[in-house]
């Protein structure tokens, strides 16, 4: 996964990727190492896997540290000499918030606070923090496609609330303690190495029982999906522009520019598994057909701001889902 990109990004001398053994973080680590950057991955391996770092571990300039961001004492020594932090560590399971809200507080908010505190305590200077936020911060947005300046922002899940809180912490530290923050509100990102989300769920269920597929909700939940390769080109396009600017904080939506419904995703997955006559059993869901309490039923992000920099997603939502399914089935990374 080689990204040809020149300019201000080449000035980065040492980079940390938190959550770098996870799906998005490991792909980002590979892309940065391909650029000959020095990359240190921090991960507690709760959900991340060392197997995701197979390619990265074969490259010079790569280091791995098993660190839990909830432990501030282990962080302060790591940020010395770092020019940029890509903060991707989080608990991504949105539905957990309806039964155990403390998980998102600890794994998302507390972890982000500790990371920012470690930067402040070491006074490492004008460091750039690139943060993977989420479309769920918008909640049930009344405007679609939803722009970055939409408001008021009212998340409906503790996951979305924790991510919005992280955005606010990054902004406050940027203006108070001298760092810079680049925030990405992501659509549903899919691809090889992903082990959670609707595609992985469907694949697992159909491998267990190829005759019937249980689908949470009423199947009409409709959202935007982006392939990890488009995610990477979007990240680097926005980062290049940000580093050449004098902005302390900026926010970009990053997704495809269309949608696909859950029922159609089920059809794509069954097709890629070469299954026929699969009975689709919809649970009916909660609160008007949502998969779970806190599930945003309809989402589409405006990506005009990022497109104005010349970026375009290569795949639409259906194409991203189909390609990701193929990659998951072949263990492609």
Contacts of 34 (CB under 8 A, 6+ apart): 1, 2, 3
The overall pTM is greater than 0.85: yes
**15 and 132 in a common domain:** yes
Domain range spanning residue 293? 198-223+258-299+314-330
**157 and 274 in a common domain:** no
**204 and 143 in a common domain:** no
Asked if residue 95 belongs to a domain, the reply is yes
Asked if residue 3 belongs to a domain, the reply is no
DSSP state at residue 274: T
Asked if residue 1 belongs to a domain, the reply is no
CATH of the domain at 207: 3.90.25.10
Asked if residue 263 belongs to a domain, the reply is yes
| pLDDT for position 125 | 65
**217 and 228 in a common domain:** no
**204 and 122 in a common domain:** no
**135 and 203 in a common domain:** no
Distance between CA atoms of residues 199 and 322, nearest Å: 9
**134 and 249 in a common domain:** yes
- In terms of phi and psi (left: phi > 0; alpha: psi -120 to 50; beta: otherwise), the region of 167 is alpha
CATH of the domain at 57: 3.40.50.720
Asked if residue 272 belongs to a domain, the reply is yes
**216 and 160 in a common domain:** no
Asked if residue 305 belongs to a domain, the reply is no
**216 and 68 in a common domain:** no
The enclosing H or E element of 159 equals helix 158-177
Task: Give long-range contacts, CB 8 A cutoff, 24+ apart: 239-246.
Answer: 239/9, 239/130, 239/182, 240/5, 240/7, 240/8, 240/9, 241/309, 242/128, 242/180, 242/182, 243/7, 243/8, 243/9, 243/11, 243/128, 244/7, 244/8
Domain total of the chain: 2
Asked if residue 234 belongs to a domain, the reply is yes
* 148 in Cβ contact with 251 (< 8 Å): yes
Q: Which residues pair with 42 in a beta bridge?
A: 18, 65
Asked if residue 202 belongs to a domain, the reply is yes
Q: What percent of the chain has pLDDT over 90?
A: 80
**140 and 120 in a common domain:** yes
**148 and 60 in a common domain:** yes
Distance between CA atoms of residues 62 and 38, nearest Å: 6
Contacts of 231 (CB under 8 A, 6+ apart): 24, 27, 186, 189, 191, 254
DSSP string, 122-147: HT--S-EEEEEEEGGGG-S-SSSSBP
**203 and 114 in a common domain:** no
Cβ atoms within 10 Å, residue 237: 20
Longest dimension (CA), the chain: 61
- Of the CA atoms within 13 Å of residue 5, those in its CB half-sphere come to 26
Task: List, in sequence order, the alpha helices (H) in 244-316.
Answer: 262-272, 304-307
| pLDDT for position 96 | 64
For the stretch 2-18, pLDDT in tens is 333 333 444 445 899 99
Residues (pLDDT < 50) of the chain are 1-12
| pLDDT for position 3 | 31
Q: What is the mean pLDDT of the chain?
A: 91
């Amino acid at each position: 996964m080689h990204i040809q990109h020149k300019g201000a990004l080449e000035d980065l001398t040492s980079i940390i990727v938190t959550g770098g053994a996870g799906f998005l973080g490991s792909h980002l680590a590979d892309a940065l190492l391909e650029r000959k950057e020095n990359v240190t991955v921090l991960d507690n391996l709760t959900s991340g896997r060392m197997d995701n770092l197979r390619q990265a571990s074969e490259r010079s300039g790569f280091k791995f540290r098993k660190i839990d961001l909830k432990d501030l004492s282990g962080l302060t020594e790591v940020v010395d000499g770092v020019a940029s932090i890509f903060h991707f560590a989080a608990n991504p399971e949105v539905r957990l918030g309806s039964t155990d809200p403390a998980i998102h507080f600890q794994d998302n908010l507390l972890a982000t606070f500790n990371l920012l505190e470690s930067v402040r305590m070491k006074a490492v200077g004008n460091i750039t923090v690139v943060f993977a936020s989420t479309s769920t911060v918008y909640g049930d947005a009344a405007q679609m496609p939803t722009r970055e300046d939409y408001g008021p922002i009212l998340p409906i899940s503790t996951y979305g609330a924790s991510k919005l809180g992280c955005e606010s912490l990054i902004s406050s530290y940027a203006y108070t303690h001298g760092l810079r923050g680049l925030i990405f509100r992501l659509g549903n990102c899919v691809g090889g190495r992903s082990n959670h989300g609707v595609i992985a769920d469907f694949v697992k269920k159909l491998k267990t029982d190829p005759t019937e597929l249980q689908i949470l909700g009423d199947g009409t939940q409709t959202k935007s999906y982006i392939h990890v390769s488009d995610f990477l080109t979007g990240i680097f396009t926005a980062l290049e522009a940000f580093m050449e600017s004098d902005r302390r904080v900026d926010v970009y939506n990053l997704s495809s520019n269309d949608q696909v419904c859950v029922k159609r995703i089920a059809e794509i997955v069954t097709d890629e598994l070469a299954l026929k006559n699969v009975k689709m059993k919809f649970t009916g869901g909660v609160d008007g057909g949502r998969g779970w309490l806190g599930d945003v039923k309809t989402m589409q992000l405006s990506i005009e701001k990022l497109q104005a920099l010349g970026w375009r997603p290569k795949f639409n939502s259906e194409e991203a889902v189909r390609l990701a399914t193929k990659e998951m089935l072949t263990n492609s990374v």
